[in-house]
Chains A and B, each alone.
Chain A
């Protein structure tokens, strides 16, 4: 009867311990739950889990404390792979050490200052579990064997916790990369959307893969309407479509494209089939062995109209200047001819024996006629200067006569 009760108690303890495995996928939480119940039911005072941290050089690997039911007097000790406990666990799944045994001194993992009995269980290839008792536990091999079956389940769960931790770490890293990528894409989109040009990207088949806000504005198609459409059909005027197609095929065959990476002027069509001038630069981009073409397109309708207006104004100005030159040439001829007659007649009057007073009049007349002739010559010189046709002459002149003439001119005006 006593044996039966004992068996029932053993079974019920193993039942409870088995169900205590796998409470959580967090290693510490899981160890805490399972070992807490193990300590209480078995009436132990210490449990700790030691996990192997492998190194490239096997002999440098260490067993580190992953969980302890109570604080270690010596902080986070580490055991070498050649320490007594791991060495012995390479030969057996579990073993116990008691104070009356010669090897007892090797039981220390840093927490056995209380003494008592100690048991060690191999956790597969991961490490080991250390239990300690003051109630003379683990004297019978049966006790270790019973617990071993539950601890095997616990080992599998430790593997699950470690795998889960690695997955969580990988997912966290992936999530961070995705966040960075989204941030980077958002930044790029902002740059593209705020670009002054329409930015249109197509793939090797001419399908639109990027269409920014300015492209929407210039061509009248929304991004959702344009994405995936054939760019040729959408914005290339019918007369240029064949050339566009040939150009693409030529580039994909030879890697050469005369219109690539430079600014060209061409026409495009918008949603209303209005053809308008654009300035275009195209850059090919190779990603994963496939080409994409990014086009920066600027509507230059306003600039073209301004250029035409400027040309028209220039032509008008040239015509006006021509008329002016015509006028001056005419004026030169039509005014100088009668002036020559006036000057000639003045000379003839000097031959008619004028009295002193008449001679003064004739002097004034001759001077004024010469001045007027000089003035007309100067006007013609000015028009020659404007036309860049003034030719300098080299000839002797009488300075005294020039100054006298100036005196005469202004003396008369003063008078």
Chain B
């Protein structure tokens, strides 16, 4: 359920009133402007003996509305207590250590994972996660954090509120996945000839910003400059080409002093990129398409939903974003009248591509139907 009163006493009252089935774990997903006193809330929840986890996101989705204040309160059946992995930013982040931590979750069919969306090593983390589990495992999740793009504590368990971390919950439900974005190729290919994790230094062997600006300025009414970079670039993301599927979107969010472009998510060196453009109708159609795909494969009984939609889609679509949420809700409620679309506006989305490889997406809608 969505609740707007983020005062600790109000939150605890809601939790006390909630029927939590035996063995289930509380999931609390907050909008970044909730103003909640998290350390006190965490202590109080621990004192009540609840198992819980959660995160702070740019926004919360509840039906056809989204909020930067308030929270979703849900309970999920977990196979094990949620696992909090720290040090995702450290240069010596190593896969094998992660493997040891993940060993107890090995047999999970569904993994829910939230990451600090501004951490540096999301790609190696997800790669190790995929290697650790069988290809039949389904993955779902997203990036927590603030729209200010300033890194801060955004994930919590009983261990506290942390940044630079990943949270993993092995859910004892199966999940059907729908993943789609609707952005299409405008120009390309461009080769990312020099990159380092989420920073592009060179495109086609020349300064990344100069090469990018040349393409964008031909399309944009206003020339792109470092000062207006985010407001224009949100309409021209990069796409990493993938066969037999949509391009993998990378959101350019800032430009550095040397003309390097900073993205949300990793761009491998020598990746072949396209500059994408979006049309509201196509994006909304994609959201509907993802939902319909999800519903086609879903059984009759669905426990709950989890929508992970990119905050930059909301920023790009602006007032049309409500139409996107309605495009999700319409087929959902037709098939399951009592089902309510709820989730988060994220800094990057995580999913196996339906049943395929695990990816960190940008500007994409990921819909999970728990069954």
Binds A, one of B154-162, B205-213, B264-272, B315-323: B264-272
Closest to B99 in A: A71
Which listed residue, B106, B136, B243, B352, touches A41 by the CB 8 Å rule? Answer: B243
CB distance from A107 to the nearest CB of B (A): 14
User: Is B359's CB under 8 angstroms from A40's CB?
Assistant: yes
Cross-chain contact A41 with B270 (CB below 8 angstroms): no
Residues A113 and B131 in contact, CB atoms below 8 Å apart: no
Indicate if the CB atoms of A8 and B189 lie closer than 8 Å: yes
Residues facing A in B87-134 (CB within 8 A) are: 106, 127, 130-134
Q: Is A65 an interface residue (CB 8 A)?
A: no
**Cβ of A19 under 8 Å from chain B:** yes
With both chains docked as a complex, state the minimum distance between the C-beta of A196 and any C-beta of chain B, in angstroms.
54
Let me know if A19 and B270 touch, CB within 8 A: yes
- Interchain CB contact under 8 A, B134 and A72: yes
A44 near B357: Cβ-Cβ < 8 Å: yes
Contact B132 A13 (CB under 8 A): no
Residue A378 at the chain B interface, CB threshold 8 Å: no
Choice from A19, A41, A43, A70 contacting B131 with Cβ under 8 Å: A70
A36–B354 Cα distance when bound, in Å, is: 17
Docked-complex contact B135 and A70, CB < 8 angstroms: yes
Q: Is A42 an interface residue (CB 8 A)?
A: yes
Interface residues in A29-50 by Cβ distance below 8 A to B read: 32, 36-37, 39-46
Q: Which residues of A contact B271 (CB under 8 A)?
A: 16, 37
Q: Is there an interface contact between B355 and A45, defined as CB atoms closer than 8 Å?
A: yes
Q: Would you give the 0/1 interface string for B333-371, flagging 1 where the beta carbon is closer than 8 Å to chain A?
A: 000000000000000000011111101000000000000
Q: Does A105 contact B (CB under 8 A)?
A: no
Set of chain B residues within 8 Å of A114, measured between Cβ atoms: 135-136, 355
B28 within 8 A of A: no
Q: A129-137, A163-171, A260-268, A298-306: which one contacts chain B?
A: A129-137
Q: Is B263 at the interface (CB under 8 A from chain A)?
A: no
* Complex contact B136–A39 (CB within 8 A): no
* Residue A123 is within 8 A (CB to CB) of chain B in the complex: no
A13–B243 touching, CB < 8 Å: yes
The winner among B127, B135, B248 for most chain A CB atoms within 10 A is B135
Known contacts A43-B244, A113-B136, A137-B244, A37 near B268 by CB under 8 Å: yes
- B241, A41: Cβ atoms closer than 8 Å: yes
Q: Which of A211-255 contact B (CB under 8 A)?
A: none
Is the CB of B245 closer than 8 A to any CB of chain A?
yes
A158: Cβ under 8 A from any B Cβ:
no
Q: Smallest Cβ distance from B100 to chain A, in angstroms? A: 14
Q: How many residues of B contact A (CB 8 A)?
A: 31
Q: Which residues on B sit within 8 Å (CB–CB) of A36? A: 127
B191 at the interface (CB under 8 A from A): yes
* A39 neighbours in B (Cβ, 8 Å): 357
List, in ascending order, chain A residues with CB within 8 A of B131's CB. Answer: 32, 68-71
Q: A70 near B130 (CB under 8 angstroms)?
A: yes
Q: How many residues of A are in contact with the other chain, CB < 8 A?
A: 34
Say which residue of A42, A46, A73 sits within 8 Å of B243 (CB atoms): A42
Confirm or deny: B242 has a beta carbon within 8 angstroms of a beta carbon on chain A.
yes
Q: Which residues of A contact B191 (CB under 8 A)?
A: 12, 15-16
Q: Which residues of B contact A12 (CB under 8 A)?
A: 189, 191, 241, 272
A171 and B166 CA atoms in complex are apart in Å by 39
List residues of chain A with CB within 8 A of the CB of B272.
Answer: 9, 12-13, 15-16, 41
Bound: A111/B81 CA distance, A:
28
B240 at the interface (CB under 8 A from A): yes
Is there an interface contact between A73 and B134, defined as CB atoms closer than 8 Å? Answer: yes
- Residue A97, interface by CB 8 Å: no
Asked whether, in the complex, the Cβ of B357 is within 8 Å of the Cβ of A45, the reply is yes
CB–CB B244/A113 < 8 A: no
CB distance from B164 to the nearest CB of A (A): 23
B82 nearest CB across to chain A (Å) = 21
Residues of A within 8 A of B242 (CB): 40-43
* Residues 147 to 176 of chain B near chain A (Cβ within 8 Å): none
Closest residue of chain A to B354, judged by CB?
A134
In the complex where A37-B268, A70-B131 touch, is A134 in contact with B356 (Cβ < 8 A)? yes
- Enumerate chain B residues within 8 angstroms of A13, measured Cβ to Cβ: 241, 243, 272
Among B131, B354, B356, the most chain A Cβ lie within 10 Å of the Cβ of B356
Indicate whether A20 reaches chain B with its CB closer than 8 angstroms: yes
- Chain B's closest residue to A8 (CB) is B189
A45 to B272, CA, bound (A): 20
Residue of A nearest to B193 (CB): A19
Docked pose: A12 CA to B272 CA in angstroms: 6
CA gap between A111 and B359 in the complex, in Å: 20
A20 to B127, CA, bound (A): 16
Question: Are B243's CB and A71's CB within 8 A?
Answer: no
In the complex, what residues of B have CB within 8 A of residue A132's CB?
A: 135
User: Is B127 in contact with A45, judged by CB distance below 8 angstroms?
Assistant: no
Point out the residues of chain A lying under 8 angstroms from B130, CB to CB.
69-70
In the complex, are the beta carbons of B241 and A136 less than 8 A apart? no
Shortest C-beta distance, B156 to chain A (Å), equals 29
CA distance A136 to B355 in the complex (A): 13
Interface string of A329-348 (1 = CB under 8 A from B): 00000000000000000000
Q: Is the CB of B241 within 8 A of A111?
A: no
Tell me, rounded to whole Å, the shortest Cβ–Cβ distance linking A77 to chain B.
Answer: 13
> In the complex, which residue of chain B has the Cβ closest to the Cβ of A136?
B244
Contact: A43 with B353, CB < 8 Å?
A: yes
Once the chains are docked, how many angstroms separate the CA of A11 from the CA of B355? 27
Bound-state CA distance A71–B355 (Å) is: 15
Instruction: Establish whether residues B134 and A134, one from each chain, have CB atoms under 8 Å apart when the complex forms.
Output: no
Given contacts A32-B127, A45-B355, contact A9 B135 (CB under 8 A): no
Shortest distance in angstroms between A16's beta carbon and chain B's nearest beta carbon? 5
Report the Cα distance A16→B357, complex, angstroms: 18
Closest to B355 in A: A134
A-B contact pairs, 11 of them (CB 8 A): A15-B270, A40-B248, A42-B244, A43-B243, A45-B135, A45-B357, A70-B130, A70-B134, A70-B137, A134-B355, A135-B356
Residues of A at the B interface (CB closer than 8 Å) are 8-9, 12-13, 15-16, 19-20, 32, 36-37, 39-46, 68-73, 111, 113-114, 132-137
The residues of B with any CB-CB pair to A shorter than 8 Å are 106, 127, 130-137, 189, 191, 240-245, 248, 268-272, 352-357, 359
Additional pairs, 8, CB under 8 Å, beyond known A19-B269, A41-B272: A9-B241, A43-B243, A69-B135, A71-B133, A111-B135, A133-B244, A134-B354, A134-B356
What 8 pairs across the A-B complex have the smallest Cβ distances? Answer: A12-B272, A135-B244, A45-B356, A19-B270, A70-B135, A43-B245, A12-B189, A43-B242
